Amino acid sequence: MSRVNRPYVGIPTFLRSPLCEDLSVLEAAIAVFGVPFDEGSPYLPGSRMAPRALREHSLRFGNGGNGFYDPETRLEYLVEEMRDQLIADVGDVDIHPANAERTFVNITETVRGILKQGALPVGLGGDHSITYPIFRAFEEKLHVFHFDAHTDFAPFENDLQHTNGHAFRHIASLPNTLSLTQVGIRSLRHSPAQINDVIASGNRLIPMSEFRQLGPQGVAATVPAGARVYVSIDIDAMDMSLVPGCVSAEPNGMTYAELRDSLKAIAERHDVAGFDFVEVNPLLDVRSGVTAYLGALVVVEFLGHICAQPRWAARRLSRPAAASQP
Model pLDDT for residues 173-204, shown as the tens digit of each residue:
999 999 999 999 999 988 888 898 999 989 99
User: Does the pLDDT of residue 299 top 70, yes or no?
Assistant: yes
Domains for the chain: give ranges and CATH numbers.
Answer: 14-323 (3.40.800.10)
Instruction: Give the whole-number percent of the chain exceeding pLDDT 70.
Output: 97
Instruction: Give the whole-number percent of the chain exceeding pLDDT 90.
Output: 83
The residues near 35 (Cβ < 8 Å, ≥ 6 apart) are 51, 92, 93, 95, 107, 123, 124, 125, 126, 130, 134
Give helix then strand counts, H and E, for the chain. 11, 10
User: Does the pLDDT of residue 6 top 90, yes or no?
Assistant: no
Q: What is the pLDDT of residue 65?
A: 73
**Between 234 and 3, the higher pLDDT residue:** 234
Q: What is the pLDDT of residue 325?
A: 57
Q: What is the pLDDT of residue 28?
A: 96
256 vs 127: CA distance, rounded Å: 20
pLDDT digits (tens, 9 = 90+) for 231-286: 999 999 999 999 999 999 999 999 999 999 999 999 999 999 999 999 999 999 99
Q: What is the pLDDT of residue 125?
A: 95
Average pLDDT of the chain, as a whole number = 93
66: confidence class by pLDDT, cuts 50, 70, 90: confident
Q: What is the rounded average pLDDT of the residues 91-120? A: 97
Q: What is the pLDDT of residue 127?
A: 96
Q: What is the pLDDT of residue 324?
A: 59
User: Does the pLDDT of residue 9 top 90, yes or no?
Assistant: no
CA atoms within 13 A on the CB side of 101: 2
User: Does the pLDDT of residue 158 top 90, yes or no?
Assistant: no
